[in-house]
Amino acid sequence: MQLERPAVWQRMMGHADARLLMLGTPNGGSWAPMQVLSGDDSFGNMLVTFGAPFQDRSARALMARFPGFIQLQAALLDETLALSKQATWQALADDDLKRVRDNSWWHREEIQITSYSWGVPPQQVLDRAVALRKRLDAQAGGDLASFSDKVMLVLGQAKFTPDGYTFGDEGLVYLNAPDQGDGRVTVSSARLPGVRTWQLDCVHGDLSNAKQAFDAYRELLDTGSTTLLRPHVENPVSRGASASVRSRPSRERVVGPPPQEPRELLAAETQPSITPASRGAALQVTVINGDLSFIGQPLMLGHYRSLRLSGTEFVMNRLIGGAMDASLKVGLYPEPPGTHQIFVNSRTDPENPWQPPRPEAVIVAGLGGEGELRPADMVRTVRQATIAWAQRMTEVKSGDDADAPALFEIAATMIGSGGTGITVGQSAQLVAQGVREADDRLREANERAAIEHEADPKRAMHRRPRVGHLYLVELYLDRATEAWRSLQVQNTATPGRYAIANIVRSGTGALRRPLDSSYRGADYDFITAVTQAGPYDQATIAYTLDTKRARTEVRAQATQGPLLRELVARASNDQNTDRRIGRTLFQLLVPVEMESFLGGTTEMVIELDGGTAGIPWELLDTDAGGGGSAPPWAIRAKLLRKLRTNQFRQQVVDAEADASVLVIGEPECDPAVYPRLTGARDEASAVVASLTANGALDAQRVKALISPDDPDRFGADALTIVNSLLERDWRIVHIAGHGEPPELFGPVPLKPGDPPQQLVNPRGVVLSGNAFLGTREIHNMRTVPELVFINCCHLAARGLQEVLAGTYDRARFAANVAEELIEIGVRCVIAAGWAVEDEPAKVFATTFYQALLRGRRFVDAVADARMAAHALGGNTWAAYQCYGDPDWTFRRGVGDAQHPAPSLGDEFAAVASPPALALALESLAIKSRYQKAAKEKQRAKIRHLEERFGDLWGGMGVVAESFGLAWAETKGTAQAIAWYSKALAANDGSASIKAAEQLGNLRARLALEAVEQAQKKDGGPSDRQLTVARREIRSAIDVLEGLTKLQPSIERHNLCGSAWKRLALVAAISKRVADERSAIANMKKAYARAEALARDTNYAALFYPALNRMAAELIVDGSKPDWSRFDSRTLADVRESLALKARDDPDFWSFVGVIELRLFHAIAERRLGAERASIEQEFEELFTRVSSASMWSSVLDQTSFVLPRYAQRTKGAERNAAIQILARLRSYVRESGGG
């Protein structure tokens, strides 16, 4: 205006209160015009798409001729770039198009190639732009200064802002300045000399509609200044410290999700890929194949909507002391995506109080309902949960008056992969992306804090810790490998964002793969069956199968709509008892390749949409196999439904545990239209009796609105019903009466494309005065019941024309009361799909509630009710469509009933080959060793596998070895020896050398155990028992020493030393002194070889063979006059080894080892008498912290090997000290319950 209309400008600025507020104006130009013309600007590309398809070049050429548009271009006066010349633009465009032709093997058609063509500004347009730019530059340096006090500028802020271009091997790329602009205009381009400038935290496109800044804008215009925005300060962090980031938006892969709504197309600013040079070090990611129980970092895991913890959540809840389950029971647990909760682990292992809690904390991230999780929601959820942990660290450290660490490590499971829709590879990528985004935000927050602190030093600056390392933990190797491969792909697609470890790290307790071919975190199988339009508008059902046996996408199953509607009508008739219709429906609806999976399942949830919910899935039937009259498929499979819906209540308030139960039976309605329902009255009365029988529920907590037996008197009227429904919170609502389906207007749609009918009245449960209890009333309930049971003739029935309709009106289907209940957040819904018989209906309802009161899960209670109703004949049992959480239970102030363990046949149903059997046994062994599985239960499983497969495959070396390993880990030593012997004798030679190693060790151990058991009896062991023991141990030693000659190892030398020690103990019991001393001498040699090898290889557990060698040396050489005692180097090495163990992985043995070392050293120096008191004090302090009988028995065994022998050869204070220390240790074993 000042240049073109100076008089107007002067008159406007001459006013005393005149002010001009500029919002992110490109005073020095912008790179947006060039990006629009090269196809690299999202807004420009959207404008291009408004034209005809494949006419991008024409649209861009048109925009290139707009003088006002080109006048916004930056660097027009830069002679090096020469953007003032049309020839420069043409050369750039030609070179870019040539690269597209050379590198695109997919797009070869000219009509496609031209989509990448630039718009090139004509020279006359460029000349006008250059002329204006020169005038603007002169104005900024001269005439504008006199008005600078009346001009104000507000800058936006974005991660990146285009600030030039360059050429590389990949051709033209744009240079983006980090944190130096608003996404369109750089700070240097917007700033004007002498003009006061403020900063707003939003991108360029939002500056004019940022409502939070409107008051500041008004204050600037009114007063010329504001305290509501922070003044712009040059960024000291970014200035000169961060290199420009290269990007080419039109050539880069789209990493994030596509726009979900039209407005996102305009709102999103294109951001370049982040490189290490601009955003700091890449996120370190390591995949660990191991047991989560051994992870020390805070562990993030996901939670699909459920009322019971399963899988990883169940394990972690046990490890941290039950806090997660307690939180879930009171309704304080994350469920929707974006929610999270942190459970700090304050529980210590009583047998190892020195070890920090594992994990440090559990971070639970809400995932919503299974099958509903979107990738974008998963990334957001992980991001927010990671930031929350960083914030938690900052708060805790602030309370300690200490700074939080600069970096922290975090671990995560393969979140979401235990359900349907998310593979383990996708999970790994999304978790990594979410953590990386969290780290970016933490970095940005720290940079803003630094800038603000520099501008105002009095302002406190709290730096948040950033993510240093992400560990993705997976128990099964095949899943861990899949995750690692997916991360490598992600790393290639987004270079510089991640630093993926080049191997999958082996952790403790790892398994090779699940016994079943698929992996699910839940106990039930999950199937989706939703409608989709096939070729020629043919109605089809698309299935997704996610079971413990398989996970697969199945091709859509096509069927004839008219035929299906006829079968549904016949099947859902209350008089129909023909099971052939159910089998026909099964064959029509279920793809052949799915039949074996559905026929064999024991618990199943089927997710349906509006088009498939009208199918009576409960009536479908298939041959169960095995002959006989098996119950129908829905009963065998414990079938439950889940409704897929896009409408739901955002904030659900659940009923409290002390809420009541409302039972409505035959409410008043017009008798001229609706006959009396004695069956409904009897059912409601029976339900009340079941709920209050034997004090199950207090009668005051069950409100009954049931019609009287007198046929001339009616039940509760409409006002009473509605008032009762809304007057208080209800946990359960049971309704039995008449029902009416929605009233619709218009012709019934018979084929895809027909217009839907219009909803006139949603109707529902019939009440007095032509009123209904429907969705409008239910929706007004502020507190949501946990269970609603509706038994009305037609209430849940969808019209036959709605089955597999190609399109449908959502409002019409929302008129279904059951659907509305689900949408407002009711956990479980049971609704009758057709008219039911009175007696079976009453039996179904009473059996269902009786099962709930016994603590049965919803899925089990439904199965019990169906079975009971089915026994009475008819098809009433199948009329009930049951929706909800399989694991929901009705709690009465006590803990949840435990879900019955699956039968061993079901658990090992997937064992169908020798490798699968070996895998099953290996899994049992690892669970026994690392997961502390109950030994008796594990032994029962091993015996089951022996009975089924021992004769069939037990002759194979690898299978026999696996049986031996499984038995050994459950302390079944005799069984393990038998299987290891069989493994080594197998003709196929498939057993490993480890089998021989373990056989020798177990034979020596069992021989000594037999002698020690006999010694506890009167008379002690017989000469024959002692002879057999010596022979067994010598045979074991021969095996073990043969292996050390074949290939020495620390473990084998240790096993040899242990076997010689056992032989010495047997010799001592036999009173064969010479044999005892010889065995101890050989023990010393074996442990010395192990110690030497440990020292040569820097073995961390050097202390173990060293302490055992020292014990043997004290006995063999300690009494010799010429013994040189322990050298200082040995003592120092052992102390260092124990110290490292105590530092890195502290446990009982690392601390007791220090005391034993001091004990042995005191004996060697003949100073035990002088040091007895302090040694006893150290033992006492250790006992106060750990009082495990098994651990102190082991300590007593070791000291009993040394101290009695020392006491025999010494006297006085030394002898008394040995006796007293041994007595003290025996007292610890007694006090700890060890006998």
Q: Is the dihedral of CA 574, 577, 582, 584 positive or negative?
A: negative
Q: Is pLDDT of 578 > 90?
A: no
**In the structure, what pLDDT confidence band is assigned to residue 276 with cuts at 50, 70 and 90?**
very low
Q: Is residue 786 part of a domain?
A: yes
**Mean pLDDT over all residues of the chain?**
82
Lowest mean pLDDT among 811-820, 912-921, 987-996, 1011-1020: 811-820
Q: How far apart are CA 658 and CA 890, in angstroms?
A: 11
How would residue 800 be classed by pLDDT, with cut points 50, 70 and 90?
very low
Residue 844 forms part of a structural domain: yes
Determine the average pLDDT of the residues in 725-739. Answer: 87
Domain contains 862: no
More confident residue, 1153 or 492: 1153
Contact, 138 vs 87, CB < 8 A?
Answer: no
One domain, residues 936 and 1020: no
695 with 825, same domain? yes
Residue 519, domain member (yes or no): no
Are 876 and 751 in the same domain?
yes
The residue ranking higher by pLDDT, 1193 or 288, is 288
Beta strand ranges found along 255-360 (DSSP E): 283-289, 299-304, 340-344
> Are 945 and 998 contained in the same domain?
no
Domain final residue pick, 251, 269, 290 = 251
Ranking 315-329, 555-569, 971-985, 1182-1196 by mean pLDDT, the lowest is: 555-569
pLDDT (tens digit per residue) in 608-625: 887 777 778 888 877 655
* 3-class DSSP state of 726: helix
Residues in the chain: 1235
| Whole-number Å distance between alpha carbons of 911 and 896 | 32
Strand pairing category for 764-766 and 772-774: antiparallel
Range of the domain at 69: 6-251
Is residue 37 a contact partner of residue 119, using CB atoms and an 8 Å limit?
Answer: yes
CATH, residue 584? 3.30.420
Task: Say what the pLDDT of residue 537 is.
Answer: 55
| Residue 90 or residue 530, greater confidence | 90
In a shared domain, residues 226 and 122:
yes
Cα dihedral: 1052, 1054, 1056, 1059 (round 10): -130
For position 725, which CATH number holds?
3.40.50
Structure tokens at 1125: 């005692």
Report which residue type is found at 420. Answer: T
pLDDT tens track for 667-676? 999 888 888 8
Look at residue 265 in the predicted model and tell me its pLDDT: 46
Percent share of the chain, pLDDT over 90: 35
Q: Which range, 51-65, 189-203, 389-403, is most confident?
A: 189-203
Kindly state whether residues 1086 and 1182 are assigned to the same domain. no
Any domain includes 903: no
Residue 637 has pLDDT above 50, yes or no: yes
Q: What is the pLDDT of residues 1167-1202, one digit of tens each?
A: 999 999 999 999 998 888 888 887 888 898 889 999
Identify whether 717 is part of a domain.
yes
Q: Above 80 in pLDDT, residue 960?
A: yes
pLDDT tens column, 209-256: 888 889 899 989 988 888 888 888 765 433 333 467 778 887 664 444
Cα separation, 1176 vs 1171, whole angstroms: 9
pLDDT at residue 1118 above 60? Answer: yes
Do 297 and 384 belong together in one domain?
A: yes
- Same domain? For 1162 and 1040 the reply is no
Cβ contacts of residue 856 below 8 Å, gap of 6+?
Answer: 864, 889, 897
At residue 833 the predicted structure's pLDDT band, cuts being 50, 70 and 90, is confident
pLDDT classification of 804: cutoffs 50, 70, 90? very low
Return the ∠ at Cα 371 (arms to 370 and 375), rounded to 5°: 105
Residue 855 to residues 331, 900, 951: CA-CA distances in angstroms?
19, 11, 41
> Where does the pLDDT of residue 554 fall: very low under 50, low under 70, confident under 90, or very high at 90 and above?
low
Say yes or no: 365 and 474 in one domain: yes
Task: Point out the domain boundary residue: 618, 643, 668.
Answer: 643
User: What per-residue confidence (pLDDT) applies to 385?
Assistant: 95
Global pTM reads: 0.56
**Confidence bin at 261 (pLDDT 50/70/90):** very low
Same domain, 122 and 165: yes
Average pLDDT over residues 400-416: 80
Examine residue 654 and state whether it is found in any structural domain, yes or no. Answer: no
Is position 894 within any domain? no
pLDDT over 70 percentage in the chain: 82
Residue 701 scores a pLDDT above 80: yes
What local confidence, expressed as pLDDT, does residue 467 receive? 93
CATH of the domain at 423: 3.40.220.10
pLDDT at 901 over 50: no
What is the b/e burial string over 1057-1068, where b = at least 16 CB atoms within 10 angstroms of the residue's CB? bbbbbbbbbbbb
Point out the least confidently predicted range of 41-45, 467-471, 683-687, 988-992: 41-45
1070 and 1157 inside one domain: no
pLDDT of residue 155: 93
Same domain as 836, residue 742: yes
Select, from the ranges 45-49, 123-127, 305-309, 626-630, the one with the highest average predicted confidence (pLDDT): 123-127
Name the pLDDT band for 867 (thresholds 50, 70, 90): very high
Last residue of a domain, one of 1083, 1099, 1115: 1099
The SS3 assignment for 531 reads strand
pLDDT over 50 (residue 781): yes
Q: What is the pLDDT of residues 341-383, one digit of tens each?
A: 999 988 877 766 777 788 899 999 999 887 778 888 899 999 9
The answer to whether 1090 and 1057 are in contact (CB under 8 A) is: yes
Looking at the structure of the chain, the number of domains it has is 7
For residue 806, pLDDT beyond 50: no
- Check pLDDT > 70 for residue 552: no
